[in-house]
Amino acid sequence: MATTVRLTMAQALVRAMAAQMTVVGGRTVPLFGGVWAIFGHGNVAGMGEALHAERARLPTFRAHNEQAMAHAAIAFAKAARRRRMMAATTSIGPGATNMVTAAAVAHVNRLPVLLLPGDVFASRRPDPVLQQVESFADGTVSANDCFRPVTRYFDRITRPEQIIPAFDRAMAVLTDPADCGPVTLALCQDVQAEAFDCPESFLEPRLWTPRRPAPDAGELAAAATALGAAKRPFLIAGGGVLYGEAEAALSAFAAAHGIPVGETQAGKGSLAADHPLAMGGIGVTGTGAANALAEQADAILAVGTRLLDFTTGSWALFKDPGRVLIGLNVQPFDALKHRALPLVADAGVGLAALTAALAGRRAPAEWTARAGRAKAEWEATAAGYTAATDAALPADAQVIGAVQRQARPNDVVVSAAGGLPGELHKLWRTTERGGYHLEYGYSCMGYEIAGGLGVKMATPEREVIVLVGDGSYLMMNSEIATAVMLGLKLIIVVLDNRGFGCIDRLQRATGGESFNNLLRDARHTVVPAIDFAAHAAALGAVANKVSGIAELERRLAEARADPGTQVIVIETDPALATDAGGHWWDVAVPEVSERPEVAAAHRSYQHARRSQRLAD
């Protein structure tokens, strides 16, 4: 007869979380790195008591913003390459819905996070309770139903016994390489505190190791035939290469077959920047080298990528009319996109199988040589954009150059949204795995500082450098205080262009007037002179404003030597961006306007759309 222990639902859940284990670097470690918690009436009594009891095995971290703490949890999982993860718990109202944006970030980026918002009373005796959202038409709806479209698995726990099958299903999703993503378990606040006879087997340690599916023989043969016949093969490396720990397999595959490699934002760093076949970023924010080769390619092997419009130049990048697309992906949904030849498999296993199937065949020597020339030309071009300058208002690229010159190979650069991801995708060079951490799947402003905190928690031995624009900083900066509180050092460089410079440039590129993006062009009585350094210092950071690139480099060197969180502010020019490289992006321009600039932009837009190929 199975033995049981009397526990509340929350106690059973927390004990079960603490018992989940994984293997990292040959060591068995807890799967959950901890729980982020902001307590309210909907979780402080049930989850709060349960987390307190297990705080030695499952640490609890206090944050200052619910969205930010979930971002930190997501960044932790990304930096841990989905081998480890975190959870986040909130009360039932705005605390819960604050996490919806973060859930979407995790969903788009295929990253695991366990979201545990409090919910209404299952008994409904005190309804409506504080912060309860009431539906006039459906008594089963709560605010947490907002999570349904942005989580891989959703469950509402209305009886304590339900936590057992719900948690088992949650773990299946969180650890599955194909279905990985956020899970929401909405915890009715009365049920959190309700006791039941929990089977002890539910609380026993469980070891989770990554599943590495091998390819189907028929799919492998078709992919190898297509790739082997190619005269100008090209490989796109996505985030699945990193999550599948397939960097070595990718490097060996490229070298064995002479195939140049372009990288998505999520896949950047899959191939070291100094590898002779590493062409850098591909697509809208890609390098001149990667995009020139992709345009000419007659076979594109897309490995571990969901083929975002930024990667494909809105499906106008690949120009060869006879080109074939091969989708090597652990998720069939992605492997089959745009009528690709699917190769459903783990990235590393699939690349190894393709190498064996190709039996030593290489791309024509001229194609590989062309890639080498394109790489050299691009690197010379990029160096011009990142070179030091004495300009009063440097470009983002020049700031990136300064940070790169002061960085060490083991450092991690973190950013998200706005103009910085595009500049970094083109210009940043990383040679160490995990050295490039960008959130660009959801392009979520406000991720940067919280994300940097999560990266630091996952890799405390590495220096974490966060690049953030003033717009994102103003949206979410509270976790500077959390980093200081936890003694986790970040180096944060704030690029102040006094508004949303990236979108202002896009607005003008599509024929619009500068309007409502830069502070000076928004409705105002006074243009605020925001002192970001003073603000960051008030949150506990060591903060300085610098007057140019030379002083920025000096401050970066000093920041490395200082043990505390550092914030360095530099003003930049909102109009400047790297105009070399890149590719067209489908941003619809109005068909009708009184302004001739918009009409001209629409004509250019219509011309560019002729290159789009949605299917073959």
Separation CA 77–CA 549 (nearest Å): 34
User: Could you tell me if 542 and 528 are in contact, meaning their C-beta atoms sit under 8 angstroms apart?
Assistant: no
> Mean pLDDT, 10 residues at a time, over the chain (616 residues)?
92 98 96 98 98 98 98 98 98 97 98 98 95 94 97 98 98 98 98 98 97 97 97 98 97 97 98 97 98 98 97 96 97 95 98 95 97 98 97 98 98 97 97 95 97 98 98 97 98 97 95 95 94 98 98 98 97 96 96 96 95 73
User: Which of 208, 242, 262 represents a domain boundary (last residue)?
Assistant: 208
Residues 341, 416: one domain? no
User: Which of 378, 404, 427 represents a domain boundary (last residue)?
Assistant: 378
Separation CA 66–CA 61 (nearest Å): 12
SS (H, E, C) 586-610: CCCCCCCCCCHHHHHHHHHHHHHHC
Q: Kindly report the CATH number assigned to the domain that includes residue 394.
A: 3.40.50.970
User: Could you tell me if 412 and 461 are in contact, meaning their C-beta atoms sit under 8 angstroms apart?
Assistant: no
**Number of folded domains that form the chain:** 3
Q: Both tokens of residue 175?
A: 């650890």
**166 burial type by CB count under 10 A (0-12 exposed, 13-18 middle, 19+ buried):** buried
Separation CA 517–CA 470 (nearest Å): 12
User: Which residues, 6 or more positions from 482, have their beta carbon under 8 angstroms from its beta carbon?
Assistant: 61, 62, 63, 64, 68, 69, 72, 453
Residues 39, 75: one domain? yes
Q: Both tokens of residue 43?
A: 């979780």
Separation CA 343–CA 126 (nearest Å): 54
Element (H, E) at 496: strand 491-496
The answer to the question of residue 238 being in a domain is yes
Q: What are the angstrom distances between the C-alpha of 579 and each of 262, 374, 584? A: 19, 17, 12
Q: Kindly report the CATH number assigned to the domain that includes residue 277.
A: 3.40.50.1220
Q: What are the backbone angles phi and psi of residue 111, rounded to the nearest 5°?
A: -115, 145
Q: What are the angstrom distances between the C-alpha of 572 and each of 24, 67, 389, 394, 402? A: 41, 28, 12, 5, 13
Tell me how many degrees the CA angle 265-68-96 measures, rounded to the nearest 5: 120
The answer to the question of residue 159 being in a domain is yes
Q: What are the angstrom distances between the C-alpha of 575 and each of 331, 386, 409, 426? A: 40, 16, 31, 18
CA 540 to chain centre: 27
Separation CA 262–CA 256 (nearest Å): 16
Amino acid at residue number 236: I
Q: Both tokens of residue 270?
A: 């899959």
Question: What is residue 495's three-state secondary structure?
Answer: strand
**What would you report as the CA-atom Rg of the chain, rounded to the nearest whole angstrom?**
25
**130 burial type by CB count under 10 A (0-12 exposed, 13-18 middle, 19+ buried):** exposed
| Domain that residue 566 falls in | 387-571
Length of the chain: 616
Separation CA 572–CA 361 (nearest Å): 49
The answer to the question of residue 119 being in a domain is yes
pLDDT value for 38: 98
Residues 223, 185: one domain? no
- DSSP string for 392-413: SS--HHHHHHHHHHH--TT-EE
pLDDT value for 360: 86
Residues 445, 353: one domain? no
**355 burial type by CB count under 10 A (0-12 exposed, 13-18 middle, 19+ buried):** middle
For 597, other C-beta atoms within 10 Å of its C-beta total 13
Residues 437, 370: one domain? no
User: Could you tell me if 447 and 453 are in contact, meaning their C-beta atoms sit under 8 angstroms apart?
Assistant: no
Task: Map tokens 């985030």 to a residue.
Answer: 239
Residues 401, 309: one domain? no
The answer to the question of residue 601 being in a domain is no
Kindly give the pairing relationship between strand 566-571 and strand 542-546.
parallel
User: Could you tell me if 62 and 90 are in contact, meaning their C-beta atoms sit under 8 angstroms apart?
Assistant: no
Q: What are the backbone angles phi and psi of residue 239, rounded to the nearest 5°?
A: -60, -25
**321 burial type by CB count under 10 A (0-12 exposed, 13-18 middle, 19+ buried):** exposed
User: Which residues, 6 or more positions from 145, have their beta carbon under 8 angstroms from its beta carbon?
Assistant: none
The answer to the question of residue 581 being in a domain is no
User: Which of 540, 556, 571 represents a domain boundary (last residue)?
Assistant: 571
pLDDT value for 427: 98
Residues 473, 364: one domain? no
DSSP label at residue 518:
B
For 515, other C-beta atoms within 10 Å of its C-beta total 12
The answer to the question of residue 97 being in a domain is yes
Residues 467, 552: one domain? yes
H-only helix segments in 258-387: 288-296, 309-312, 332-335, 347-358, 365-386
User: Could you tell me if 63 and 13 are in contact, meaning their C-beta atoms sit under 8 angstroms apart?
Assistant: no
Q: Both tokens of residue 386?
A: 């990142």
The answer to the question of residue 65 being in a domain is yes
pLDDT value for 437: 98
Separation CA 387–CA 376 (nearest Å): 17
pTM here is: 0.97
pLDDT value for 615: 59
Residues 144, 238: one domain? no
Separation CA 187–CA 42 (nearest Å): 9
Separation CA 363–CA 371 (nearest Å): 11
- DSSP string for 314-329: TTTS---TT-EEEEEE
Residues 314, 409: one domain? no
Residues 391, 367: one domain? no
Residues 426, 341: one domain? no
Separation CA 600–CA 614 (nearest Å): 25
User: Which residues, 6 or more positions from 202, have their beta carbon under 8 angstroms from its beta carbon?
Assistant: 12, 16, 164, 167
The answer to the question of residue 592 being in a domain is no
